[in-house]
Structure 1
Amino acid sequence: MMADGSTGGLLDRARTVAGPGFDRWLVPPCALAIHLCIGMAYGFSVFWLPLSRAIGITDPVVCESMTLAQALTTTTCDWRVSDLVWTYTLFFVVLGAAAAIWGGWLERAGPRKAGVVAAFCWCGGMGIGAIGVSMHQLWLIWLGSGVIGGIGLGLGYISPVSTLIKWFPDRRGMATGMAIMGFGGGAMIGSPLANSLMKHFSGPTGVGVWQTFLVLAVIYFVFMMAGALGYRVPAEGWKPAGWTPPTDAKATISRFNVDLKDAHKTPQFWLIWIVLLLNVSASIGIIGVASPMLQEIFGGRLIDAPGVLFTAFSDSQKVAAAAVGAGFVGAISLFNIGGRFFWAWFSDRLGRKPLYAVILAISAVLYGIAAPALAGRGLGLFILVFCILASTYGGGFATVPAYLADIFGTKFVGAIHGRLLTAWSTAGVVGPLLVANMRDGRIAAGIPRDQVYQPIFLMLAAMLVVGFVANLFVKPVASRFHMPVTEGVASTTAIDATTATTTAQHGGGSRSTVILAWLAVGVPILWGIYMTLSKAVILIK
């Protein structure tokens, strides 16, 4: 084994350096292949209801006095949805921890090795989860899908970041936006696929979940391994033809690198951490209750029964309202995905700091003014408001890797991004907890359902205002944190452009490979969009 921990074989970082003729446009579909698979973490809610009747099959076997500790090992009682949702929490807490802990290793080992480990963890975790379902052992689902799968999520999420940024120094936002768009789109593909598989495998003796886990694990393993093995890193000093690195005078884009061990010592890291925390917290909680929120606020207006309150719905009206709620969630998903690419792409033109100022300001105004004013009144505009909010939520995720590269340089950006994702893990707990507690408290106090959410909207707007102010204080990193030029100068200055342009711009025979790679990820994306639109279309009927 080599000093950097590599094996010297196929997964060695040195084996991933692109040779002459490599087309950089092969890297984004490789990143998408991984992100579309691990993005199914967002879609795991599709399993909760079937798993809540895994023993009873048609109706849950309910044990009223069962504690959470008892639920971990029971084989005679069906799990509650609240027990299962802990898997979702584990996903994102472990994701942030894994990205922070192993981000430095990823930079040394390279994206290919990290991608392979991510594939084994994510898909192996689903396999262990399948065993847990078949044995009716919740602790195995938590361990497999939640913890081991969460490690795969963390490594898979950050593995393409530094690679894409180094291949696309001229389009940092667009490149990372494409990959992270895939994470948002994973559930768009995985959820309907999982539904179809569960219907196929379900029967009088089972709900078809463990079989679905195994099939998805195999499919995802193939895609993730293909993506990982397709990764290449540019040769030292490569840069796109005709591109000139920015000068010192150009906004906050740094020509120097900051070492991983020093990044968290800078105020810039913690300011961006706060910005991401508040942007995510303000949306993740409310998006999690999007369907019931719409039904509670608008009641019978959703189903041509004005004046009928949500609490007075008949069984048939509940079904009809739930279909509208599902369409609302589908529309939000599409805007979340589209926003990841649009806002990140737009940041290449506007700049990362101004872009964050724009999305935080828009979000604060929509939460603080538009949402309360439209609640219970303008259904179409209310839906549009939350679609835009979903786009800014996704855009914040997709733009932050490029923001970090602008501030800290590209040498350790993947590892720094990994540490920053602890803000996401924190937000995944803070946001839903704040929204759920305020919602439940107001309902318990007897507040009418259509008036429950207005103070929540104002609280979220205030959080975004704080994030807006924090973003204003982000400045270039002080020179004392810059790495010496000999070891930390941006690699794009090391090779003359005439040499670099022949290295990886357009690779002759590789063009067909690039087209096939894009088709491999593009077809599932289009299918997922079609399935989501088929649900969202109910909103315009």
Structure 2
Amino acid sequence: MAGEVSRTPVSPTSPGFLSRSRTVAPPAWSRWLVPPAALSVHLAIGQAYAWSVFKPPLESSLGLTGTASALPFQLGIVMLGLSAAFGGTLVERKGPRWAMFVSMTCFSSGFLLSALGVATRNYWLVVLGYGLVGGIGLGIGYISPVSTLIKWFPDRPGMATGIAIMGFGGGALIASPWSSQMLDAFGTGTDGIAKAFLVHGLVYAVFMSVGVLLVRVPPDGWLPRGWTPAKAAARPLITTADVSARNAIRTPQFWCLWIVLCFNVTAGIGILEKAAPMIRDFFSATATPVAAGAAAGFVALLSLANMTGRIVWSSTSDLIGRKNMYRVYLGAGALFYLVIALAGNSSKPLFIICALGILSFYGGGFATVPAYLKDLFGTYQVGAIHGRLLTAWSIAGVLGPLIVNAIADAGKAAGRSGPTLYTTSLYIMIGLLVVGFLANELIRPVNPVHHERPAGALTRPEPPLATSQGDAR
């Protein structure tokens, strides 16, 4: 783009502790220290997936509907996508330490505001704190290690991002039982919920500071020993060229992948946000209804599947390719939803197995997408491109819970119960996954006209400015 003189985003040299220049790794630094730094942030912000544990006590203590109690979570996901999209380029320039610090500050502050809101019975403060402020922490924290990890692990990008992003999926594995225990100890009234939010905010601030202190970026030109980009470029859809974030959003590949991510997330997040009440509703009229504690355990189990899918499936994508991996996510996911819809409440194990499969694909889709972007657009501004792609998550974060909650609320108002509250939602999810599958099939290599060119190369005119290119790596 016009005015660019370097292909590697570098912030002005600053003596500040958070500056990018202070995070360049020394020669003896081990790249395997970076995934734990990313995990410390992602395990914390992954608490968002345990929001359903707070839904029933909030609804009973503040008189909320299921749709209303989902608002903080929905706004948080919206802000995740928006802050990632608008802050992606800034994160690339400022570096991961700055980004992790901003994430820690916003995410923890969101819990503290939520605690104040519940204590004073001002639900709008919960929406503002957890949703708006905390959501900014979610978005900045989510993308903070992605570009760094891909640059440290260009030989295994799926595995590297899977290790870190599995922390986001696994956050609820810690937060769900922890939150339930705090509610048992403090109570499920407003005072108890406020205390639980307060503890969350303080503990997560300490936990996330580990990543702030530990993270490093590789020196310019660093490559793993014995690995060259040419080895990876021999595989389909993988390029050694680079595409800027500005040019990436002009390609059909970006928007096809946007649809893929949006609909895969919608299908998974609809279950996840409603997980605890959903399993109780499904089997309420059977001989073995699900108790509140067991429902919280189900949320934790889904979190385990979400977390495991992120590392297992994203690592598998390094072997079979990203496009094939998404064929599995979308195609098999649609089949799992169909089984749940047809089986109803006839088999609790079958319901749980299918839900676990859906959530493993949901998590795997998140962990695989940064590597898919790297394959298509290169490493130049992959973090910024990833941030823009996460606007799909913003839409899905509203769409999934809205579909499931609104249809379930309408069903309850009409006197329905059990699986019939969710049948329509399940078939909608199947349709969305099929559309995502077709969008994935349309993805092809990026046209070279969108590639960055070495310094001094002739450029294609782009009125009113010409596109100049950065230094060759």
- Per the shorter chain, which TM-score range? 0.7 to 0.9
Residues 394-453 of structure 1 deviation map (CA, whole Å, 9 limit, x = unaligned): 111111111111111111111111111110110111122223344445555666644454
- Superposed CA RMSD in Å reads 2.8
| Greater radius of gyration (CA) | 1
State, as a whole percentage, how many aligned pairs show the same letter.
47
Structure 2 partner of 1:472 = 441
Q: Residues 193 and 290 from structure 1, CA distance in 2 versus in 1: closer, same or farther, beyond 3 angstroms?
A: closer
Alpha-carbon separation, structure 1, partners of 2:416 and 2:196: 42
SS of equivalent residue, structure 1 residue 208:
helix
Q: Give a deviation string over 1:340-394, Cα, whole Å, max 9, x none.
A: 11111111111111110122111122223x2233223343223212211111111
The equivalent position to 1:120 in structure 2, one of 91, 97, 105, is 105
1:8 aligns to 2:22 (yes or no): no
Partner in structure 2 of residue 24 of structure 1: 31
Change (3 A) 1:453 1:178: same
Q: How far apart in 2 are the matches of 1:490 and 1:250?
A: 26
Residue ranges of structure 2 left out of the alignment (5+ in a row): 1-9, 457-467
Q: How does 1:146-185 map to 2 (within 5 A)?
A: 146-185=131-170
167, 173, 197: which one pairs with 1:213? 197
Q: 1:187 to 1:81 in 2, by over 3 A?
A: farther
Structure 1 residues 167 and 50, CA, compared in 2 at 3 Å: closer, same or farther? same
Residue of structure 2 in register with 1:404 after alignment = 373
Deviations 1:101-158 (A, max 9, x none): 1111010111111111111111122223333333333333332222111111110000
Where do 1:336-355 residues align within 5 Å?
Answer: 336-355=306-325
| Amino acid in the other structure paired with 2:361 | T
Distance 1:430 1:480, change over 3 A: same
Q: Distance in 2 between matches of 1:79 and 1:189?
A: 28
State whether structure 2 residue 405 is matched by structure 1 residue 422: no
Partner of 1:95: 80
Measure, in 2, the Cα distance between the counterparts of 1:231 and 1:292. 38
- Quote the Cα distance in structure 1 between the aligned partners of 2:272 and 2:351: 14
Residue 255 of structure 1 contacts residue 490 of structure 1 at CA under 8 Å; is this kept in 2? no
Q: Could you tell me whether the CA contact under 8 Å between 1:302 and 1:321 is conserved in 2?
A: no
CA contact (8 A) 2:80 2:136 kept: yes
Q: Which amino acid aligns with 2:225?
A: A
Count how many residue pairs are aligned between Structure 1 and Structure 2: 451
Specify the code of the residue in structure 1 equivalent to 2:216. Answer: R
Alpha-carbon distance between aligned partners in 2 of 1:214 and 1:332, rounded to the nearest angstrom: 25
Q: Report if the CA contact (8 A) 2:310-2:360 is conserved.
A: yes
AA aligned opposite 1:280: V
| Contact 1:256/1:485 (<8 A) preserved | no
- Do the aligned partners of 1:256 and 1:489 also contact (CA within 8 Å) in 2? no
- TM normalised by structure 1 equals 0.77
1: CA distance, partners of 2:31 / 2:185: 40
2:330 aligned counterpart, secondary structure = helix
Q: Distance in 2 between matches of 1:134 and 1:448?
A: 33
Say whether the 8 Å CA contact 2:331–2:434 is kept in structure 1.
yes
Letter aligned with residue 365 of structure 1: L
Aligned residue identity for 1:230: L
Residue by residue over 1:14-42, the C-alpha shift from the partner in whole angstroms, topping out at 9 and shown as x without a partner, is 11111111000000000000011111122
Offset of 1:200 from its aligned partner?
Answer: 4.5
Match of 1:207, SS state, is helix
**2:214 is the counterpart of 1:230:** yes
CA contact (8 A) 1:340 1:397 kept: yes
TM-aligned CA distance change 1:145 to 1:292, over 3 Å: closer
> Could you say which residue in structure 1 is the equivalent of 2:238?
253
Give the direction of change, closer, same or farther, for the CA distance of 1:377–1:50 in structure 2 (3 Å limit): closer
What amino acid is aligned across from residue 380 of structure 1 in structure 2? P
TM-score where L is the length of structure 2: 0.87
Partner of 1:104 in structure 2?
89
Separation in structure 2 between the aligned mates of residue 289 and residue 150 of structure 1, nearest angstrom: 19
